[in-house]
């Protein structure tokens, strides 16, 4: 197995096993509201 093949397998395994950490529901709602506001505003400025 080549290094890129091994790395590909490792990241896929990490992603498959990922569990989001617990988050207080009030914080989650605040975060979702913030993201929605920023999307409405056009998001972060970019140079491209």
- Contact between 44 and 38 under an 8 Å Cβ cutoff? The reply is yes
At residue 38, the 3 state secondary structure works out as helix
Say how far apart CA 17 and CA 15 lie, in whole Å: 5
Say how far apart CA 33 and CA 40 lie, in whole Å: 11
Please tell me the predicted confidence (pLDDT) of residue 10.
97
**Average pLDDT score over residue span 13-35:** 95
**Average pLDDT score over residue span 15-24:** 95
pTM attached to this predicted model:
0.52
Q: What is the mean pLDDT of the chain?
A: 92
Please tell me the predicted confidence (pLDDT) of residue 45.
74
Lookup: tokens for 33: 């509201």
Domain definitions of the chain by residue range: 21-48
Confidence of residue 23 (pLDDT cuts 50, 70, 90): very high
């Amino acid at each position: 197995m080549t290094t890129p093949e091994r790395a590909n397998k490792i990241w896929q395994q990490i992603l498959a096993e990922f569990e989001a950490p617990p988050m207080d529901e009030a914080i989650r709602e605040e975060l979702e509201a913030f993201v929605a506001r920023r999307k409405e505003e056009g998001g972060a400025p970019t140079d491209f």
